[in-house]
Amino acid sequence: MLERETRESTLERRDDEIQEMLLLAARLKEAHGGDLDDAAIVAVSEATGAPVDYVRLALRSVEVKRKASFLQRIRGTFLALEPDVRRFVASGWLACGGGFFWAAGLTLGDRTSLFGIGMLVATLAALWNCSIANDRKTAAISGAIYGGLLFVMGSVFTTLFSLIASRGEFVSSGFLIAFLAGGALLGGSAKRIVSRNLTKVGIQDANVERQELLRQLVELQDKLRSGEQSLAFLSIDVVGSTRMKERADALAVEFTFNEYHQYVENVVRRNGGQVHSTAGDGITAAFERPEQAFRAARALQSGLIELNTHRNKLGTPIKLRIGLHHGTVVAPTGEVQSVNFAHVIDIAAHLQKVCPEGGVAVSDTALGLIPNGASLVGSERIQVQNVRGTIWLPRSAPNSEGPATPPPIPPRV
């Protein structure tokens, strides 16, 4: 069970990394006046270590997340196809266009040469499509597809236009073989000519382009992750604070909770941490190491006796729930306070919500990094948001009926 959860978590992280890299690649290509292509997809594959086919599938979900238009979704689906299949599909669509112009000029007349120009453009585009194929075999097949479908679609459109114009001009089916052979020959020749003259016609070699894009992706990724840190977070909350405030005087509430915030900040600072954020009565604190966070959490719970006895003016003791989790966050400015959204903070908050009063819920991730953590924490287990943890509870809890009193001081001997 645990292995499956770990594997699923790893796949989710890989998906996020692939999608992040695809978006970066799209922005890089757009900045240089291009679109995502095979070179970009292969570069993302090499940068993330994921198979090329896996990246192609991830490309579709990226287009959906970006709320792409209908044409962008078609483009995403087209790019997700294998390179050879894309050449074949493009040849088919160009053949449909060329067949339309050919038939229109043949049956409806072409006094302005408009239809002839349209067919010429379709044919040149088909030759270009063949020239950028991976090899001559794919180029020849693409050319054959264009030639064969050009004949078929030309015949279909000729029939339709002839019925509309009441003219009976049809093309003999015997030309189909000639079109197939001619298309294959022209496609293979186009690939051979372009491959020999890439630099002369201003086309960058695919391998060179992929390496350059890969370099830019890695540089961008390093910059984005320059503020990456591994930190432990405490999520601290007062149990039943709303009810406590309703029953108490406003000035007593303000004084008590100001003292409470000062108390938490002092304990956190003494244990090597810093307050990340506050929201109402909830406080989030960050530490470099989980053992610091755990030490601070225990000090917060045990020190409540003094706080409730001398500085609590509400008549009801303050009781805390604390969640502890460890993970990686990205601080753009290098300061912990600049972390706005982080999964590790969310998990700490979820752990805090299921933690019993007076306890500390420690995730397994954080527990594994605390020296002798298994013996220090306890044995009560919990699970929330697919994260498992252990509950630490003090040996004695404060009296819940009123402000706690400090233990008696033993007489001096």
CATH of the domain at 295: 3.30.70.1230
Residue 56 lies in a domain: yes
**Alpha carbon 194 to chain centroid, angstroms:** 38
Whether residue 102 sits in one domain with residue 7? yes
Residues 358/380, Cβ–Cβ less than 8 Å: no
218-to-25, 36, 159, 223, 344 alpha-carbon distances in Å = 10, 17, 56, 9, 25
Residue 354 lies in a domain: yes
Last residue of a domain, one of 185, 201, 221: 221
In a domain, 353, yes or no: yes
**What Rg value do the Cα atoms of the chain yield, rounded?**
35
Are residues 269 and 135 both part of a single domain?
A: no
Last residue of a domain, one of 176, 202, 221: 221
One domain for residues 10 and 106 = yes
Q: Which residue has the higher pLDDT, 155 or 227?
A: 155
In a domain, 399, yes or no: no
Which of 168, 194, 221 is the last residue in one of the domains?
A: 221
In a domain, 412, yes or no: no
Q: Which domain holds residue 10?
A: 2-221
pLDDT of residue 400: 39
Residue 333 pLDDT:
62
Q: Are residues 280 and 303 in the same domain?
A: yes
Q: Is residue 385 part of a domain?
A: yes
The contacts found for 10-19 with CB under 8 angstroms, 24 or more apart, are 14/48, 14/50, 15/58, 15/61, 17/48, 18/44, 18/48, 18/50, 18/54, 18/55, 18/58, 19/58, 19/61, 19/62, 19/65
Instruction: Write the CA distances from 192 to 127, 128, 141, 381, integer angstroms.
Output: 11, 12, 14, 67
215 shares its domain with 235: no
41-71: pLDDT as tens digits? 777 777 777 777 777 777 666 654 555 566 6
Residues 276 and 242 reside in one and the same domain: yes
Number of domains into which the chain is organized: 2
Which of 12-16, 207-211, 264-268, 400-404 is modeled with the greatest confidence?
Answer: 264-268
Residue 398 forms part of a structural domain: no
Whether 308 has a pLDDT exceeding 60, the answer reads: yes
Residues 201 and 240 in one domain: no
pLDDT of residue 162: 72
For the ranges 147-156, 180-189, 237-246, which has the lowest average pLDDT?
Answer: 180-189
- Report residue 291's pLDDT band, with 50, 70 and 90 as the boundaries: very high
Residues 236 and 255 in one domain: yes
Pairwise CA distance, residues 362 & 366, whole Å? 6
Same domain for 176 and 253, yes or no, is no
The model's pLDDT over 364-385, given as tens digits with 9 standing for 90+, comes to: 999 999 998 888 898 899 999 8
Residues 237 and 154 in one domain: no
Structure-token pair, residue 273: 């941490």
Query: Of 317, 223, 303, nearest to 263 (Cα)?
Result: 303
Q: Residue 137's pLDDT is what?
A: 86
pLDDT tens profile 4-14: 444 444 445 46
Is 207's pLDDT higher than 60?
no
User: What does pLDDT average to over the chain?
Assistant: 78
pLDDT of residue 303: 92
Higher pLDDT, 165 or 121: 121
3 state SS of 277: strand
For 5-42, b/e burial (b = at least 16 CB within 10 A) is eeeeeeeeeebebbbbbbebbbebbeeeeeebbbbbbb
In a domain, 154, yes or no: yes
How many CB atoms neighbour CB 287 within 10 A?
26
| Of 349 and 39, the one with more pLDDT | 349
For residues 384 and 253, membership in a common domain is answered with: yes
The Cα 39–Cα 63 span in angstroms is: 18
Q: Is 297 helix (H, G, I), strand (E, B) or coil?
A: helix
Is residue 105 domain-shared with residue 44, that is, in the same domain? yes
Q: What are phi and psi of 278, to 5 degrees?
A: -130, 145
Tokens of residue 144, six digits = 């054959």
pLDDT of residue 35: 63
